[in-house]
Chain A
Amino acid sequence: MSLDQNDTFVRELMGKSAEKMPFDDFEERLMQQIHKEAKTSRSFLKDIKLSWFFFTIGTIFGLVLNTIVNDMHKSFFGILPQRMALLFQSLFVIILLFQFDNLIGLTKKKMN
């Protein structure tokens, strides 16, 4: 059999091979999963938005508290006011950076 004949006959053979999805409920089952995916994705987005909102509130609250602590002149449990302010500011920065990093990671994940 020549190459051309070969090609023509293989084309004829392949014409008989077209398969159709044999599972009638495939479309319905898949759409159910797709709807579930969409719902999860939407609630994930909502959670991220809420997280950013509370992060902003927390940051503002932290800044206000920082200012208050800075203005205090009394010592607490024997800790000097300046030390108290330094301790509070360090804690604030650590928490802020940690939360910011987490949120950026989550948001990037959603974007991708």
Chain B
Amino acid sequence: MDQEYIQNVLNGSTEDFRYLIRKYKDLAFSVAVSVVKNEFEAEEVVQEAFIKAFRNLSSLKEKATFKTWFYRILINEAFKNLEKKKKAIVIPTNQDLPDVEDIEEPFRGLVIEEQKFLVTESLKKIPPKESLSLQLFYLDGSSIDEITNLTGWSESNVKVILHRARKHLLVVVKTMMENELIVNKS
């Protein structure tokens, strides 16, 4: 389906690019937010990625799907944005992460809106590479191989990052829930 619209755009029907924007903007936004941790900057990143994709559309080989190719541009753009803004996100390493127990029940006790808020905020508190790997693996359904292909990280690196990301997310969710409980109690 994408191919048809891409061909139309290449043939001069610029308006057909809207289809690609409409189809990928939400997923692209999720991926961008997971890296840059800020909605306005994520919007900027997604916009720049779409413009670059449009400029270089003719270089897209038939074999590669638009989605994979576009994600590569997007991820590259997101990390470039991080570097440009010189954001230093200092978060403890794996050694400082304890095993997390018994958070499923209290989490499920929250209302859906609270759950969504908690997860979104927790993702903002973990390192960009970790949240990106979670985003791609769990939300987008990418395999380890695909993440390797998209990010340029080695397979073992992706596995390590994913492992650390899972632990990290659980620790942050737990901490935030405890803080929330303390605030509510007081």
Contact = CB atoms under 8 A, between A and B. Distances in A.
A10 B170 contact: yes
Given A9-B170, A20-B29, A33 B119 contact: no
Given A6-B170, A10-B169, A34 B54 contact: yes
B123 A17 contact: yes
B51 A17 contact: no
Q: Is the interface of A mostly helix, strand, loop or mixed?
A: helix
Contacts of B81: none
Contacts, number: 93
Contacts of A22: 29, 39
Interface in B2-22: 14-15, 17-18, 21-22
Interface stretch (B83-91, B98-106, B143-151): B98-106
Contact of B166 (A7, A26, A33): A7
Contact of A30 (B47, B99, B119, B120): B47
A21 interface: yes
B170 A27 contact: no
With a 10 A CB-CB cut-off, give which of A1, A14, A29 has the most chain B CB atoms: A14
